[in-house]
Structure 1
Amino acid sequence: MSDLSGRCRCGGLTWRAEGPILWSAFCHCDDCRRAASSDYVSWLGVRRAGVIWTGDRRLFRSSPRVVRSFCAVCGAPASFETDVFPDETHLYAPSLDDRSLYRPSAHIFWSERLPWVSVGDDLPKHPKGLQDAAANGRSLLR
């Protein structure tokens, strides 16, 4: 078990989480890209019960089953929580204090990637998300 920590851009919002990292992946879905204004998002999943937040964290219900959070001071995106994975919090990997802890294991929602995204890695590329990968016997666990 490891202790993970991270922060937003301004440092006004911090988090600590009991490890381990449950999974890690690059997400190419339209919702994540738009929420982060990015070509894709680097996620890591941790146990929700082990996450402690400090600072002014704001919540936004981005869809009926999803709550995203962000720093109220600088606006940096902080997390993704969904009823689909009720025991997990998904954190933005670049927010890690020790970024060397992040080792992505797959690309998810590859079918929704932007047309200009080209990657040179040999990671698995799942057309859909975590549920679909699991249903097809492909684990994203590290």
Structure 2
Amino acid sequence: MSEEMTGGCQCGRVRYSVHVADYEAYLCHCRMCQRATGGLAAAFKSVKKADVTWEREPDYYASSPIARRGFCSACGTPLTFEFPDSSRMDLTIGSFDEPGRFVPTQHYGAESIHEQWLDTRDLPRYRTEDNPNVVNRWMDKVGRLPD
């Protein structure tokens, strides 16, 4: 299987297309990814750098002496993780237009996993459209709920 998928940042300034060989993805729980994303883990798809086409390149910062991360400087969306000397890079799952197609197949940085956040299936679930406080704000400003 080889498929072209698309993605980008929240504001749309940075967009990409990429050929993916499968839907396998992973969660990185290392402290650097936690800090870089502000989350408990970063969800990534590993791809060949040569398979990524940028409509507009992300901005980059050296997140450590051995790696850099791509992001949109306009909206702050984290987009990539990569070792500059590698032929591969990771794209954030949330930046794909269809993130639901990916399946996590492994955990990395397991020394920093917050176990209590891994299985949340029994917690109550609330939908955005069921919160009038949020719905009214969206409807007043743009006339619809966000995607």
Alignment TM class, shorter chain as reference: 0.7 to 0.9
Instruction: Describe the superposition over 1:66-111 as per-residue Cα deviations: whole angstroms up to 9, x where unpaired.
Output: 0101002111111001157x11110100111112321110111122
Aligned residues: 120
Residue 63 of structure 1: SS of its match in structure 2? coil
Q: Which amino acid aligns with 1:94?
A: G
Does the CA-based 8 Å contact 2:45-2:93 persist in structure 1? Answer: yes
TM-score normalised according to structure 1 size: 0.76
Does the CA-based 8 Å contact 1:27-1:41 persist in structure 2? Answer: yes
C-alpha distance in 2, partners of 1:64/1:4?
Answer: 31
- 4+ long deviations beyond 4 Å: none
C-alpha distance in 2, partners of 1:93/1:22?
Answer: 10
Does the CA-based 8 Å contact 1:57-1:71 persist in structure 2? Answer: yes
Q: Give runs of aligned pairs for residues 40-119 of structure 1, distance below 5 A.
A: 40-55=41-56, 57-83=58-84, 86-114=86-114, 116-119=116-119
Residue 35 of structure 2 corresponds to 34
Q: Kindly, what percent of the aligned residue pairs are identical?
A: 25
TM-score normalised according to structure 2 size: 0.73
In structure 1, stretches of 5+ residues that fail to align are 122-142
Report how far residue 52 of structure 1 moved.
1.2
Does the CA-based 8 Å contact 1:21-1:46 persist in structure 2? Answer: no
Q: Which has the higher helix share?
A: 2
C-alpha distance in 2, partners of 1:118/1:100?
Answer: 17
C-alpha distance in 1, partners of 2:23/2:89?
Answer: 10
C-alpha distance in 1, partners of 2:90/2:34?
Answer: 14
C-alpha distance in 2, partners of 1:64/1:75?
Answer: 21
C-alpha distance in 2, partners of 1:5/1:68?
Answer: 19
Residue 34 of structure 1: SS of its match in structure 2? helix
Residue 26 of structure 2 corresponds to 25
Q: Which amino acid aligns with 1:11?
A: G
In structure 2, stretches of 5+ residues that fail to align are 122-147
Does the CA-based 8 Å contact 1:12-1:56 persist in structure 2? Answer: no
Residue 127 of structure 1 corresponds to none
